[in-house]
Amino acid sequence: MIEGILIGLTTALTLQNILMVMLGCFFGTIIGMLPGLGPMTAIALMIPITYGFDPATGLILMAGVYYGAVFGGSTSSILLNAPGVPGTVATSFDGYPMAQQGKAGKALAIAAWSSFAGGTLSAIYLLFMAPSLSKVSLSFRSPDYFALMILGLTAIAAFSSKGQFLKAMMMVVLGLMLASVGQDSLSDITRFTFNNMNLTDGISFVLVVMATFAMSEALTIILKRNDPTSAAKQVSLTELGSIKINKEERTKMYKTIPRSSVIGFLIGVLPGAGATIASFLAYGMERNIVNDEEKEKFGKGSVNGLSAPETANNAACSGSFVPMLTLGIPGSGTTAVMLGALLGFGVQPGPRLYMTNPEIFWSIIMSMYIGMVILLILNLPLIPYIARILAVPKNYLIPLILFFSITGIYVMSFNNFDIYLMIGIAVVATFMRLYDFPMPPLILAFVLGGLMEENLRRSLLLSNGSWEFLWDRTLTACILLTTILIVIWHIYKTMFKNNKA
């Protein structure tokens, strides 16, 4: 492991890669700060740029963007009560009341330190957990992978949208359907191309991500600009107050941070869970743990209430890298985007990544830590200035997002068919978003579609067409049993809710 850490440090500490982490954190913070634009949009916008770099550098840039976007999301939660990302919704519960009391600077500083501590601790957990899990996952066979992908897709559907399991499953199927367009990987037979040559190679991953996130988010912002429920009440962006944290507040944070980082990391590792669930759980847990006097302050500007979700959402970000790096199966929509980008580089994540591309594996882990340090150095003193970006008028912001999305696709293919296809998918995605059809399951399914078909093919061929492979191996059966339990739990929950209603 020491050797690996040194390889990672050597790669991550090159001038170019440090610069990439810095740029990533900076742009991520800015994009994540803008309400409606989350880490997936931020990373999607970066993908065309990363193709000019080697895989390690590209991934380091994206990891920086990811952390920056999550941190940026908390800034808009605190200042505008408009979370930039779902993972920072819980941050606004106590962050915004604190800002309303004239302590916006302090709230931002608590968020920054908690994010830093949560990210740092979880990077350490990742350091120890990822290599061991990589070794274990080497024993995985095609049926296990197939079952794991079913579990991942079911879990993301179960957790992505409250009470919308069937909608999320429909999006999973739609993502898999989109992934099936183009040539079959083994026989080269074209499928669902309708004799259109532009579809022979399938639909580009970047196109789907840009359309369902960047472009459709921009269209949704325009569509809802007069919606009174989405209008944000503003805290003064010029007078944020002091960013100093006193001794009493520090003592509270010392207790909250370690427990929230553990819960955040563990939730992040689970497929489909992630920063949103982690932050809510950490908030709830913290509320139950603290004394009655402190409990009263929750929702009114509690330090514990702000520190817990901020620590947990950053810890969950690192945790979500575990299944992606060790199993090649992303645990969240954001890591699915990163997995797609890695595949674009020709790098196959999974247990062998640890051995075949140790520089990528370790440099990502090391760059996470460097990213945390840079986020703190960059963001803490610059908070009052960065916060002013929130005042950028949407009349300029939206066309620029559309411009970056379309240009990102155009420079990859120089083909206007891709632009039309992107507009078409974006319009459908915008409409579906209005009715709460979640997009992350679609992206995860689109990324996993090819791998899933490949593993199902291998499993069915090895078992001579019999579906017994699903319960032949204990591991496969256990994974599928977990999937079934998730589905049953959701059906039970929905029925219970209906009966109550």
Stretch that binds other proteins, among 62-70, 337-345, 380-388, 398-406 (CB under 8 A): 398-406
461 binds other proteins (CB under 8 A): yes
Stretch that binds other proteins, among 158-166, 255-263, 280-288, 333-341 (CB under 8 A): 158-166
Q: Confirm if 207 and 422 have CB atoms less than 8 A apart.
A: yes
Comparison of 139 and 229: residue with beta carbon closer to other proteins = 229
Q: Would you state the structure tokens that stand for residue 36, as one six-digit string?
A: 């409606």
494 binds other proteins (CB under 8 A): yes
> How far is it, in rounded angstroms, from Cα 389 to Cα 24?
17
Residues 6+ apart with CB under 8 A from 18: 12, 370, 374
Comparison of 259 and 457: residue with beta carbon closer to other proteins = 457
> How far is it, in rounded angstroms, from Cα 338 to Cα 346?
13
> How far is it, in rounded angstroms, from Cα 110 to Cα 113?
5
Which listed residue (23, 289, 398, 478) binds other proteins by CB under 8 A? 398
Rounded least distance, CB 419 to other proteins, Å:
4
Which listed residue (15, 248, 293, 414) binds other proteins by CB under 8 A? 414
3 binds other proteins (CB under 8 A): no
Stretch that binds other proteins, among 15-23, 263-271, 306-314, 407-415 (CB under 8 A): 407-415
Residue in 413, 391, 23, 46 with CA at minimum distance from that of residue 210: 46
19 binds other proteins (CB under 8 A): no
Q: Confirm if 383 and 375 have CB atoms less than 8 A apart.
A: no
Residues 6+ apart with CB under 8 A from 2: none
391 binds other proteins (CB under 8 A): no
174 binds other proteins (CB under 8 A): yes
Rounded least distance, CB 229 to other proteins, Å:
8
Which listed residue (248, 288, 346, 396) binds other proteins by CB under 8 A? 396
Stretch that binds other proteins, among 10-18, 98-106, 179-187, 342-350 (CB under 8 A): 179-187
Residues 6+ apart with CB under 8 A from 467: 460
2 binds other proteins (CB under 8 A): no
Which listed residue (228, 233, 247, 291) binds other proteins by CB under 8 A? 228
Q: Confirm if 211 and 425 have CB atoms less than 8 A apart.
A: yes
Residue in 75, 18, 66 with CA at minimum distance from that of residue 44: 66
> How far is it, in rounded angstroms, from Cα 255 to Cα 216?
41
Distance of CA 71 to the CA centre of its chain: 12
Binding residues for other proteins, total number by CB under 8 A: 65
Q: Confirm if 120 and 372 have CB atoms less than 8 A apart.
A: yes
Comparison of 177 and 289: residue with beta carbon closer to other proteins = 177
Whole-angstrom CA distances from 415 to 46, 207, 368, 392 are 20, 12, 36, 32
Looking at residue 319, its amino acid is G
Comparison of 9 and 419: residue with beta carbon closer to other proteins = 419
Rounded least distance, CB 81 to other proteins, Å:
19
436 binds other proteins (CB under 8 A): yes
> How far is it, in rounded angstroms, from Cα 198 to Cα 202?
8
Rounded least distance, CB 271 to other proteins, Å:
19
Rounded least distance, CB 55 to other proteins, Å:
17
> How far is it, in rounded angstroms, from Cα 124 to Cα 368?
10
Which listed residue (410, 413, 478, 482) binds other proteins by CB under 8 A? 410
Whole-angstrom CA distances from 230 to 77, 80, 163, 297, 489 are 13, 11, 21, 26, 32
Query: Which residues would be at the binding site for other proteins (CB under 8 A)?
Result: 52, 162-164, 166-167, 169-170, 173-174, 176-177, 180, 184, 186-187, 189, 191-192, 219, 222-228, 393-396, 398-400, 402-403, 406-407, 410-411, 414, 416, 419-420, 423, 427, 430, 432, 434-437, 452-453, 456-457, 460-461, 463-465, 494, 497-498, 501
